[in-house]
Amino acid sequence: MKNLFKTDNSLKSILLIAISIIYLVSQSYGQPNRPADSGYAPVNGIKVYYEIYGEGKPIILLHGAFWTINMNWGQLIPELSKNRKVIAIEMQGHGHTPYSDRKLAIKTLASDVEGVMDYLKIDSADVAGFSMGGSVAYQFAVQSPKRLKKLVIISSTYKTNGWLPVVNSGFKNFKPDFFDNTPVKTEYDAVAPDKTNWKKFISQMVAFAGVSFNIGDSNIAKIASPVLIISGDNDGLDKIELMKTYQLLGGGVSADLAPMPKSQLAIVPSQGHVSLMMQTATILNYINSFLK
Protein backbone atom coordinates (compact mmCIF):
# COMPACT_ATOMS: atom_id res chain seq x y z
CA MET A 1 0.00 0.00 0.00
CA LYS A 2 2.77 2.42 0.89
CA ASN A 3 4.56 1.76 -2.38
CA LEU A 4 1.40 2.15 -4.43
CA PHE A 5 0.45 5.47 -2.90
CA LYS A 6 3.85 6.84 -1.96
CA THR A 7 3.24 10.12 -3.80
CA ASP A 8 0.26 12.39 -4.37
CA ASN A 9 0.91 12.10 -8.11
CA SER A 10 0.40 8.32 -8.13
CA LEU A 11 -2.96 8.69 -6.37
CA LYS A 12 -3.99 11.42 -8.81
CA SER A 13 -3.07 9.24 -11.77
CA ILE A 14 -5.09 6.31 -10.48
CA LEU A 15 -8.08 8.56 -9.81
CA LEU A 16 -7.85 10.08 -13.27
CA ILE A 17 -7.70 6.67 -14.94
CA ALA A 18 -10.75 5.49 -12.99
CA ILE A 19 -12.78 8.59 -13.87
CA SER A 20 -11.75 8.31 -17.52
CA ILE A 21 -12.95 4.70 -17.68
CA ILE A 22 -16.40 5.43 -16.34
CA TYR A 23 -16.70 8.47 -18.59
CA LEU A 24 -15.88 6.39 -21.66
CA VAL A 25 -18.40 3.76 -20.59
CA SER A 26 -21.12 6.39 -20.16
CA GLN A 27 -20.34 7.81 -23.59
CA SER A 28 -20.47 4.38 -25.21
CA TYR A 29 -24.19 4.31 -24.54
CA GLY A 30 -24.67 7.11 -27.08
CA GLN A 31 -26.50 10.35 -26.45
CA PRO A 32 -27.41 11.25 -22.86
CA ASN A 33 -30.85 10.19 -21.68
CA ARG A 34 -33.67 12.53 -22.66
CA PRO A 35 -35.65 13.63 -19.60
CA ALA A 36 -39.42 13.98 -19.68
CA ASP A 37 -38.93 17.29 -17.91
CA SER A 38 -36.04 19.42 -16.69
CA GLY A 39 -35.47 22.87 -15.27
CA TYR A 40 -34.15 24.96 -12.42
CA ALA A 41 -35.54 25.15 -8.90
CA PRO A 42 -34.81 28.42 -7.06
CA VAL A 43 -33.66 27.33 -3.60
CA ASN A 44 -31.53 28.92 -0.90
CA GLY A 45 -30.26 31.71 -3.13
CA ILE A 46 -29.18 29.52 -6.06
CA LYS A 47 -30.85 27.70 -8.95
CA VAL A 48 -30.58 23.91 -8.79
CA TYR A 49 -30.90 21.95 -12.03
CA TYR A 50 -33.04 18.82 -12.10
CA GLU A 51 -34.15 16.21 -14.60
CA ILE A 52 -37.26 14.02 -14.37
CA TYR A 53 -37.72 10.60 -15.97
CA GLY A 54 -40.56 8.09 -15.90
CA GLU A 55 -43.64 7.84 -13.71
CA GLY A 56 -44.47 6.25 -10.38
CA LYS A 57 -43.13 6.56 -6.86
CA PRO A 58 -40.37 9.21 -6.76
CA ILE A 59 -36.70 8.48 -6.20
CA ILE A 60 -34.16 11.30 -5.99
CA LEU A 61 -30.61 10.72 -7.26
CA LEU A 62 -27.62 12.64 -5.86
CA HIS A 63 -24.32 12.43 -7.76
CA GLY A 64 -20.74 12.29 -6.56
CA ALA A 65 -18.20 15.12 -6.38
CA PHE A 66 -17.24 16.71 -9.74
CA TRP A 67 -19.70 14.47 -11.62
CA THR A 68 -22.92 15.20 -13.48
CA ILE A 69 -26.23 13.36 -13.76
CA ASN A 70 -25.07 11.67 -16.94
CA MET A 71 -21.65 10.61 -15.65
CA ASN A 72 -23.03 9.20 -12.41
CA TRP A 73 -26.46 7.85 -13.29
CA GLY A 74 -26.53 7.56 -17.10
CA GLN A 75 -26.69 3.76 -17.09
CA LEU A 76 -29.12 3.39 -14.19
CA ILE A 77 -31.73 6.00 -15.13
CA PRO A 78 -33.22 4.09 -18.10
CA GLU A 79 -33.77 1.05 -15.86
CA LEU A 80 -34.99 2.86 -12.74
CA SER A 81 -37.40 5.01 -14.76
CA LYS A 82 -39.23 1.99 -16.16
CA ASN A 83 -41.44 1.94 -13.07
CA ARG A 84 -40.32 4.91 -11.00
CA LYS A 85 -40.39 8.69 -11.23
CA VAL A 86 -36.69 9.51 -11.21
CA ILE A 87 -35.61 13.01 -10.15
CA ALA A 88 -31.89 13.56 -10.70
CA ILE A 89 -30.32 16.69 -9.23
CA GLU A 90 -27.05 18.46 -10.05
CA MET A 91 -25.70 20.13 -6.94
CA GLN A 92 -24.16 23.57 -6.57
CA GLY A 93 -21.68 24.33 -9.36
CA HIS A 94 -22.02 20.88 -10.93
CA GLY A 95 -23.19 20.30 -14.48
CA HIS A 96 -26.04 22.59 -15.45
CA THR A 97 -26.32 24.14 -11.98
CA PRO A 98 -24.51 27.52 -12.05
CA TYR A 99 -21.43 28.19 -9.96
CA SER A 100 -22.12 30.16 -6.79
CA ASP A 101 -19.86 31.82 -4.23
CA ARG A 102 -22.21 30.48 -1.56
CA LYS A 103 -20.18 28.43 0.92
CA LEU A 104 -20.40 24.72 0.24
CA ALA A 105 -21.67 22.74 3.22
CA ILE A 106 -23.31 19.35 3.65
CA LYS A 107 -26.25 20.86 5.54
CA THR A 108 -26.87 23.46 2.85
CA LEU A 109 -26.74 20.92 0.05
CA ALA A 110 -29.21 18.70 1.92
CA SER A 111 -31.48 21.71 2.36
CA ASP A 112 -31.26 22.27 -1.41
CA VAL A 113 -32.66 18.76 -1.95
CA GLU A 114 -35.66 19.57 0.21
CA GLY A 115 -36.05 22.85 -1.67
CA VAL A 116 -36.21 21.02 -4.99
CA MET A 117 -38.84 18.70 -3.53
CA ASP A 118 -40.88 21.71 -2.43
CA TYR A 119 -40.59 23.25 -5.88
CA LEU A 120 -41.71 20.02 -7.56
CA LYS A 121 -44.43 19.48 -4.94
CA ILE A 122 -43.05 16.14 -3.76
CA ASP A 123 -44.02 15.40 -0.17
CA SER A 124 -41.63 12.47 0.33
CA ALA A 125 -39.38 10.24 -1.73
CA ASP A 126 -36.75 7.54 -1.71
CA VAL A 127 -33.24 9.04 -1.98
CA ALA A 128 -30.10 7.48 -3.44
CA GLY A 129 -26.67 9.09 -3.24
CA PHE A 130 -23.21 8.15 -4.44
CA SER A 131 -20.00 9.35 -2.75
CA MET A 132 -20.49 13.06 -1.92
CA GLY A 133 -24.15 12.60 -2.84
CA GLY A 134 -24.35 9.85 -0.25
CA SER A 135 -23.02 12.17 2.45
CA VAL A 136 -25.63 14.74 1.45
CA ALA A 137 -28.27 11.98 1.52
CA TYR A 138 -27.27 11.02 5.07
CA GLN A 139 -27.62 14.67 6.12
CA PHE A 140 -30.99 14.90 4.37
CA ALA A 141 -32.18 11.85 6.33
CA VAL A 142 -31.16 13.53 9.57
CA GLN A 143 -32.56 17.02 8.98
CA SER A 144 -35.63 16.16 6.87
CA PRO A 145 -36.79 12.77 8.19
CA LYS A 146 -40.45 13.28 7.28
CA ARG A 147 -39.52 13.81 3.62
CA LEU A 148 -37.64 10.49 3.34
CA LYS A 149 -39.07 7.04 2.66
CA LYS A 150 -36.04 4.82 2.04
CA LEU A 151 -32.37 5.70 1.75
CA VAL A 152 -29.75 4.17 -0.57
CA ILE A 153 -26.10 4.98 0.14
CA ILE A 154 -23.52 3.95 -2.47
CA SER A 155 -19.82 4.06 -1.53
CA SER A 156 -20.19 6.87 0.96
CA THR A 157 -19.99 7.81 4.61
CA TYR A 158 -21.42 10.35 7.03
CA LYS A 159 -18.03 11.36 8.43
CA THR A 160 -14.52 12.08 7.24
CA ASN A 161 -13.07 9.20 9.26
CA GLY A 162 -15.33 6.80 7.40
CA TRP A 163 -12.74 6.91 4.59
CA LEU A 164 -9.33 5.29 4.73
CA PRO A 165 -6.48 7.72 5.57
CA VAL A 166 -5.09 7.47 2.02
CA VAL A 167 -8.40 8.79 0.67
CA ASN A 168 -8.57 11.67 3.14
CA SER A 169 -5.03 12.72 2.25
CA GLY A 170 -5.68 12.38 -1.47
CA PHE A 171 -6.80 15.97 -2.02
CA LYS A 172 -3.88 17.51 -0.17
CA ASN A 173 -1.81 19.66 -2.51
CA PHE A 174 -4.38 19.24 -5.29
CA LYS A 175 -4.40 22.19 -7.66
CA PRO A 176 -7.30 23.18 -9.94
CA ASP A 177 -5.27 22.54 -13.09
CA PHE A 178 -5.09 18.81 -12.26
CA PHE A 179 -8.56 18.39 -13.77
CA ASP A 180 -7.73 20.24 -16.99
CA ASN A 181 -7.88 18.01 -20.08
CA THR A 182 -9.83 15.34 -18.18
CA PRO A 183 -13.31 13.86 -18.66
CA VAL A 184 -14.48 16.01 -15.74
CA LYS A 185 -13.54 19.15 -17.70
CA THR A 186 -15.04 17.75 -20.93
CA GLU A 187 -18.37 17.12 -19.25
CA TYR A 188 -18.29 20.52 -17.54
CA ASP A 189 -17.69 22.31 -20.82
CA ALA A 190 -20.55 20.38 -22.43
CA VAL A 191 -23.26 21.47 -19.99
CA ALA A 192 -22.09 24.28 -17.65
CA PRO A 193 -24.03 27.53 -18.17
CA ASP A 194 -20.83 29.57 -17.75
CA LYS A 195 -17.59 27.76 -18.57
CA THR A 196 -15.47 30.66 -17.27
CA ASN A 197 -16.24 29.53 -13.70
CA TRP A 198 -14.32 26.28 -14.13
CA LYS A 199 -11.29 27.21 -12.02
CA LYS A 200 -13.42 28.73 -9.28
CA PHE A 201 -15.63 25.65 -9.18
CA ILE A 202 -12.70 23.24 -8.89
CA SER A 203 -10.99 25.39 -6.24
CA GLN A 204 -14.23 25.54 -4.25
CA MET A 205 -14.67 21.78 -4.44
CA VAL A 206 -11.08 20.99 -3.45
CA ALA A 207 -11.44 23.29 -0.44
CA PHE A 208 -14.75 21.64 0.43
CA ALA A 209 -13.19 18.17 0.23
CA GLY A 210 -10.48 19.26 2.65
CA VAL A 211 -12.90 20.19 5.44
CA SER A 212 -13.59 17.44 7.97
CA PHE A 213 -17.23 16.64 8.67
CA ASN A 214 -19.21 14.36 10.94
CA ILE A 215 -22.99 14.20 10.92
CA GLY A 216 -22.84 12.36 14.23
CA ASP A 217 -23.27 8.79 15.41
CA SER A 218 -26.31 9.68 17.49
CA ASN A 219 -27.99 11.35 14.52
CA ILE A 220 -27.38 8.34 12.27
CA ALA A 221 -28.78 6.03 14.95
CA LYS A 222 -32.01 8.06 14.94
CA ILE A 223 -32.68 7.52 11.21
CA ALA A 224 -36.04 5.74 11.18
CA SER A 225 -36.17 5.03 7.45
CA PRO A 226 -34.74 1.77 6.11
CA VAL A 227 -31.22 2.24 4.69
CA LEU A 228 -29.44 0.20 2.02
CA ILE A 229 -25.65 0.60 2.07
CA ILE A 230 -23.78 -0.57 -1.03
CA SER A 231 -19.98 -0.58 -0.93
CA GLY A 232 -17.18 -1.97 -3.04
CA ASP A 233 -14.87 -4.21 -1.02
CA ASN A 234 -11.94 -1.93 -1.92
CA ASP A 235 -13.70 1.39 -2.53
CA GLY A 236 -11.72 3.42 -0.01
CA LEU A 237 -14.23 3.17 2.82
CA ASP A 238 -12.92 1.99 6.17
CA LYS A 239 -14.83 -1.27 6.53
CA ILE A 240 -14.56 -1.26 10.31
CA GLU A 241 -16.26 2.13 10.39
CA LEU A 242 -18.76 0.95 7.77
CA MET A 243 -19.77 -1.95 9.98
CA LYS A 244 -20.17 0.45 12.90
CA THR A 245 -22.47 2.53 10.70
CA TYR A 246 -24.55 -0.52 9.89
CA GLN A 247 -24.80 -1.36 13.57
CA LEU A 248 -26.04 2.17 14.30
CA LEU A 249 -28.79 1.48 11.77
CA GLY A 250 -29.80 -1.73 13.55
CA GLY A 251 -27.72 -4.18 11.51
CA GLY A 252 -24.98 -6.61 12.43
CA VAL A 253 -27.19 -8.98 14.42
CA SER A 254 -27.64 -12.74 14.23
CA ALA A 255 -30.86 -12.92 12.23
CA ASP A 256 -31.37 -16.52 13.38
CA LEU A 257 -31.71 -15.28 16.93
CA ALA A 258 -33.28 -11.85 16.37
CA PRO A 259 -35.53 -10.18 13.80
CA MET A 260 -33.96 -9.33 10.44
CA PRO A 261 -33.01 -5.61 10.42
CA LYS A 262 -34.93 -3.28 8.11
CA SER A 263 -31.65 -1.82 6.85
CA GLN A 264 -29.27 -3.74 4.60
CA LEU A 265 -25.55 -3.87 3.82
CA ALA A 266 -24.14 -5.09 0.50
CA ILE A 267 -20.41 -5.48 -0.13
CA VAL A 268 -19.66 -5.95 -3.84
CA PRO A 269 -16.45 -7.95 -4.40
CA SER A 270 -13.48 -6.77 -6.43
CA GLN A 271 -14.74 -3.19 -6.80
CA GLY A 272 -13.21 0.23 -6.18
CA HIS A 273 -14.99 3.52 -5.59
CA VAL A 274 -15.44 4.50 -9.24
CA SER A 275 -15.74 1.01 -10.74
CA LEU A 276 -18.61 0.21 -8.38
CA MET A 277 -20.86 2.64 -10.27
CA MET A 278 -20.19 0.67 -13.47
CA GLN A 279 -21.86 -2.43 -12.00
CA THR A 280 -25.26 -1.39 -13.29
CA ALA A 281 -26.99 -4.77 -13.09
CA THR A 282 -25.71 -5.45 -9.56
CA ILE A 283 -26.66 -2.06 -8.17
CA LEU A 284 -30.05 -2.13 -9.91
CA ASN A 285 -30.75 -5.55 -8.46
CA TYR A 286 -30.00 -4.39 -4.93
CA ILE A 287 -31.98 -1.16 -5.29
CA ASN A 288 -35.07 -2.76 -6.84
CA SER A 289 -35.14 -5.50 -4.21
CA PHE A 290 -34.76 -2.98 -1.39
CA LEU A 291 -37.33 -0.47 -2.65
CA LYS A 292 -40.08 -2.90 -3.64
Burial 169-198 (b: 16+ CB within 10 A, else e): ebbeebeeebbeebbbbebbeebbeeeebb
Cβ atoms of 101 and 122 closer than 8 Å: no
Report the alpha-carbon distance of residue 141 to residue 135 in Å, rounded. 10
Identify any residues that bridge with 48 across adjacent strands, giving them in sequence order. 41
Provide the 8-state DSSP code for 110: H
Taking every pair of C-alpha atoms in the chain, what is the biggest distance, in angstroms? 60
Cβ atoms of 73 and 53 closer than 8 Å: no
pLDDT of residue 179: 83
Report the alpha-carbon distance of residue 115 to residue 135 in Å, rounded. 17
Q: Which amino acid is at 7?
A: T
Cβ atoms of 156 and 132 closer than 8 Å: yes
Q: Where are the domains of the chain?
A: 8-291
* pLDDT tens per residue across all 292 residues of the chain: 333 333 345 445 545 545 554 555 455 444 578 999 999 999 999 999 999 999 999 999 999 999 999 999 999 999 999 999 999 999 999 999 999 999 999 999 999 999 999 999 999 999 999 999 999 999 999 999 999 999 999 999 999 999 999 888 877 767 778 888 888 899 999 999 999 999 999 999 989 988 999 999 999 999 999 999 999 999 999 999 999 999 999 999 999 999 999 999 999 999 999 899 999 999 999 999 999 9
By the 10 Å C-beta count (0-12 exposed, 13-18 middle, 19+ buried), 292 is classed as exposed
pLDDT of residue 31: 55
The helix (run of H) or strand (run of E) holding residue 9 is helix 8-28
Decide: helix, strand or coil at residue 279: coil
Contacts of 97 (CB under 8 A, 6+ apart): 40, 46, 47, 48, 49, 90, 91
Decide: helix, strand or coil at residue 40: strand
Cβ atoms of 37 and 29 closer than 8 Å: no
Assigned architecture for domain 8-291? 3-Layer(aba) Sandwich (3.40)
Q: Is the pTM of this model over 0.75?
A: yes
Count Cβ atoms below 10 Å from residue 215 Cβ, excluding itself. Answer: 21
By the 10 Å C-beta count (0-12 exposed, 13-18 middle, 19+ buried), 110 is classed as buried
Report the alpha-carbon distance of residue 17 to residue 14 in Å, rounded. 5
